[in-house]
Amino acid sequence: MPQCPHCRTEYDSGQRYCQMCGSFLLHPEVGDTFCPECGIRVSPRQEFCHECDAPLKGQAAAAPAVEEQPAPGGQAAAAPAAAPAKGSQMMVGLLVGAGVIILLLLILVFSQSDKPSAPPAPAPPKAEAPAPPAAPPAPPAAAPAPAPPAPAPEAQPATLKDQLQGILAKMREARLNKDIILLMNCYSLTYPDVESKRREALKAWDNYDYTNMVFTVDEVQPLNEDNANAKVTWYVDLRNRRTGELISSTQTFQVRFAKELGQWRIRSLEEAE
């Protein structure tokens, strides 16, 4: 049986999430990708973490450090050999110079001792200089003016894809928590036969529990200021409430979004082939 690439727990083929650590089990050859918030293994295609709902962002791998190549052997060996020779020459020069200076000092001392010393001349009386007037006290330094506060960075406007992901995240929360009011609020007022969507959701919740839902958004196409199309793929894990059987499914839809009262909602959808 295959093993979870994170905790090495065996699982059945086709299972989407590890029952032991919750790691995403599909695409193991891509490598390990982890949520920056809770640390669980996730799919590289996920927009949100299936465990803590944190937004997922890729991180570039650190470039390998380049080792410094040693200098050629001939040059490296020549430098240490030249250093001792240069130091020896400097030491010999210092000793010779010191000997010459000492010899000159001895000659000067003996020549001065042979001359008769003249009596010292009396020093003239020193006139007392008047004390300088005291300087006026310096005025106190003015305190520097406080620097103006730095302007706060402007928040970047959310992209159209981010806005569409927001309404899909609400739909995911509604299905996981079985909140029919929040779910119906995700659909447009002009959605065709919206009442049938409400009945389908309640019937599904009677028979199944959603254990996890992950979605991806691709091919976002703005039509005008209040309408847009996108390709949405759902990865869903359910548990049969009667038998306890786990079921995993993947569905892709072409979704039409419309902005109503400042909020994006789903106006229509059809399953993509």
Q: What is the pLDDT of residue 173?
A: 94
- Which of 58, 74, 94 is the last residue before a domain boundary? 58
- Tell whether 201 is covered by a domain: yes
User: Which structural domain range is residue 15 located in?
Assistant: 1-58
Q: Where is the domain boundary, 58, 85, 104? A: 58
Block mean pLDDT (10 aa), the chain, length 273: 81 80 71 79 79 70 36 39 49 72 76 55 57 64 68 72 93 93 92 89 92 92 93 94 92 93 91 81
Considering its fold, how many domains does the chain have in total? 2
pLDDT of the residue at 192: 87
257 in a domain, yes or no? yes
Does residue 40 sit within a domain? yes
Q: For position 61, what pLDDT does the model report?
A: 33
Q: Is residue 84 part of a domain?
A: no
Give the model's pLDDT for residue 74.
42
Does residue 3 fall inside a structural domain?
Answer: yes
Asked if the structure places residue 221 within a domain, the reply is yes
**pLDDT at position 127:** 54
Model confidence pTM above 0.75: no
> What are the backbone angles phi and psi of residue 21, rounded to the nearest 5°?
-115, -5
Residue 252 falls within a domain, yes or no?
yes
Domain assignment present for 43: yes
Give pLDDT, residue 5.
76
Give the domain CATH number at 251: 3.10.450.50
Out of 58, 85, 102, a domain closes at 58
